[in-house]
Amino acid sequence: MRHVRWALPLAALTILLATAGRAGAAVSEHDLQAKMAYCKTCHGVSGRGFRGGFYPIPRLAGQPVKYIENQVQAFVDKRRTNNVMFNVAHVLSPDMVRALAQNFHDLNPDPLGGAPKGPAAEGRKLFEAGLPPDVPPCAMCHGADAKGKDDFPRLAGQLYDYIFVKLKNWDKERGQKPNNPDTSAIMEPIAHGLSDAQIKAVAAYVSDLK
């Protein structure tokens, strides 16, 4: 009898923990999938990014959970400037943000591609060695595999043109509240320390990594 009494509660607890780990305790699978589908309207099939008519929209697939959560909050706080993402982000509950971040992190589609092949070899050198003494290797923060970790984003498979646009316009889109800085402050001198050709080279290299 004792084994029978515990069987149902333990089974229920297992289901509850599995559901909480995937979608967040206060987020239903239905609501999560509906929001995932909404996000993919802009961020592309399987979250691998999309080249829109006006500007490239980034890949979210495989991004670290913590990084996605931090960036959503940055849009809410207006430490990142994007009116579309502000309107999207500020209505999301913390549980939904966590669930979306985990689900996008778990996706692993092939890169969208489209980068020029020529600069990739130079880009690999910059990624692995940097430009001493002022520009450290990209791999130092983003990982040798360019898949990021915690606060540092995944660059592997990110859209070539998205990387270029962001680095070129870093001080116009990031660090908008100096009294409330985040890890993006690390990138400002690095972005300014690279020429257009060097940025394109790094972007070309990482955009085809899986």
Residues 69 and 58 sit within 8 Å (Cβ to Cβ)? no
What's the chain's average pLDDT?
86
Ramachandran angles phi, psi of 50, nearest 5°: -155, 140
- What is the reported pLDDT for 199? 96
Average pLDDT of the residues in 45-72: 94
**Which pLDDT belongs to residue 172?**
74
User: pLDDT category, 169, cuts 50, 70, 90?
Assistant: confident
**Distances in whole angstroms, Cα of residue 29 to Cα of each of 21, 94, 107, 114, 203:** 12, 15, 16, 34, 35
The residue-averaged pLDDT of 34-42 equals 95
What are the tens digits of pLDDT across the range 108-161? 999 999 999 999 999 999 999 999 999 999 999 999 999 999 999 999 999 999
pLDDT of residue 208: 96
**Sequence-separated (6 or more) residues with CB below 8 Å from residue 58:** 43, 49, 158, 159, 162
For residue 64, pLDDT over 90 is answered with: yes
Those residues with Cβ within 8 angstroms of residue 129's Cβ, 6 or more apart along the chain or in another chain: 137
Beta-bridge partner residues of 56: 51
pTM for this one?
0.84
Domains of the chain, by residue range, sit at 26-207
26-207 CATH choice from 3.40.50.2300, 3.90.180.10, 1.10.760.10, 1.10.10.10: 1.10.760.10
Residue with tokens 């802009």: 42
pLDDT surpasses 50 at 7: no
